[in-house]
Structure 1
Amino acid sequence: MTSQNAAYSPVEEMWNAATHGVGIVASVAMLAVLVTLSAVYGNAWGIVSTSVFGASLVLMYTASTLYHAARNEGAKKILKKFDHIAIYYLIAGSYTPFLLVAMRSPAAWAVFGIIWTLAILGTFLKIYAGGAGTKWWSVGLYLAMGWLIVFISGKLFAALPPAATIFLVLGGLFYTGGVFFYMRKSKRFSHAVWHVFVLLGSFMHFFAVLFSCVFV
């Protein structure tokens, strides 16, 4: 176990890697399903948007799995940054289908610009900023990006079918609820539990995208 990641035992890291290893397989499958169905039933907006969403899932789960599976301290330090950066792109990628397919309005384009700007900002901060408060501002930015949706929630929900709305809200609740376990690093297997919440959130958003941006 490295000093870099002393909070996790080898067994915990095995579960941390395994849970998001499952996510890699699932996200590749979700990407394939969404893009294929968009090509058959949707349009160019759907194909591009679901590709971005699916790719962001693959990126995040791959970065997370590689980080937790790494044993070399130098490699782990670098992979940890990529793991955290990938979360920004997962959030931005998750917004994309809803903004560019379900809504595609001036308000949607504004939020699209803001969310991707925040993802890029988070990337630079993660690479160049540091210190004891890094974890807190990172989580704060994740949550701010995730719940930016409240500013257009009325218009978005009006554009979504009921099933998609339910899955979208459930996904947000799973992601947000999992943060409780993410912040409790001292509790054994808390990070693996966080990973399970992330998996559940991803599955919920997959169905939300499917029912609102593919079968429309």
Structure 2
Amino acid sequence: MKRASGLQRFMNRRASASHRYQPTCYEHAANCYTHALLVVPAFMGMALLHRRSDGGWQQLTALVYGLGLIALFLVSSVFHVISWKKSHMRSVEHCFHMCDRVVIYFFIAASYTPWLNLRELGPLAAHMRWFVWFMAAAGSVYVFNFHERYKLVELAFYLTMGFFPASVFTSMTNAEGLSELAFGGFLYCLGVFFFKSDGVIPFAHAIWHVFVALAAAVHYYAIWKYLYRSPPQS
């Protein structure tokens, strides 16, 4: 009983299906810091890829991927700060909560962009580089129309968009980096367990943030190592 009561200071009761979970002050702080501290590293990572780019197409791809990475951590941080410190700004908080969900779709599309743009694909698979952005736009429309109404459906959309584009990788003649991609996807899937565990596990959402950061780091490493090789020294 003492152990259970001790955890109550770090975790509130689980929310009902039609309501959002309300984190404790400790959880709010963890939610903010676990992504806010990654905004600058994400910007530096984008700059590094841009510097290693060989040509305009690689530079554009680095920009798209880097902005997706920065937006994920920045929007998440702003939303959690507003949710923590400005609880009276309900309309602003609601807007940033939707943006936080929307940016996940575009982050997934941006994460696939280097592989779809810089690897040789089959004729049908090549269309995926555009279709993945269509899926991101469709997911955004869903968020703005059904925000927080059907949480399991929304989760299914995220998982579908996360895994469906990977089907085209079978057409890649060069398989370098695919093991890192798979491992990063595995980390994302592990994190989903914590994403759905608010009110069950203390700091569940912050732990989800950590898994996102680890998975994004694995994917960044693969992109940096296999798609943006250092240009030969003259």
Q: Report the alpha carbon displacement of residue 104 of structure 1 after superposing the two structures with TM.
A: 4.7
Name which of structure 1's ranges 189-198 and 167-176 shifts more when overlaid on structure 2: 167-176
Per-residue CA distance 1:3-58 (angstroms, 9 max, x = gap): 975521111011101000122122111111111111xxx22221111111110001
* Matching of residue 66 in structure 1 with residue 78 in structure 2: yes
- Map 1:11-26 → 2, pairs under 5 A: 11-26=26-41
Distance in 2, matches of 1:19 and 1:132, equals 27
Whether the 8 Å CA contact 1:88–1:119 is kept in 2: the answer is yes
Distance in 1, matches of 2:120 and 2:187, equals 24
**Structure whose residues are more often helix by fraction:** 1
| 2:68 equivalent among 46, 56, 76 | 56
Distance in 1, matches of 2:50 and 2:125, equals 22
Distance in 2, matches of 1:181 and 1:168, equals 21
Per-residue CA distance 1:145-180 (angstroms, 9 max, x = gap): 111134223223x3232xx22321121111121111
Whether the 8 Å CA contact 1:34–1:214 is kept in 2: the answer is yes
Amino acid at match of 2:115: F
Per-residue CA distance 1:91-121 (angstroms, 9 max, x = gap): 0001111001012542342211221111000
- Map 1:1-216 → 2, pairs under 5 A: 6-38=21-53, 42-70=54-82, 71=86, 72-130=89-147, 132-133=149-150, 135-156=151-172, 158-161=173-176, 164-186=177-199, 187-215=201-229
Amino acid at match of 2:136: A
Distance in 2, matches of 1:137 and 1:152, equals 24
Whether the 8 Å CA contact 1:100–1:108 is kept in 2: the answer is no
* Paired residue total: 208
Bigger CA radius of gyration: 2
Compute the TM-score of the two structures, normalised by the length of structure 2.
0.82
Whether the 8 Å CA contact 1:102–1:160 is kept in 2: the answer is no
Whether the 8 Å CA contact 2:43–2:70 is kept in 1: the answer is yes
Distance in 2, matches of 1:142 and 1:14, equals 26
Distance in 2, matches of 1:5 and 1:35, equals 39
Compute the TM-score of the two structures, normalised by the length of structure 1.
0.89
Distance in 2, matches of 1:168 and 1:73, equals 38
Q: Percent identity?
A: 25
Whether the 8 Å CA contact 2:38–2:73 is kept in 1: the answer is yes
What stretches of structure 2 of length at least 5 have no aligned partner? 1-11
Amino acid at match of 2:116: L
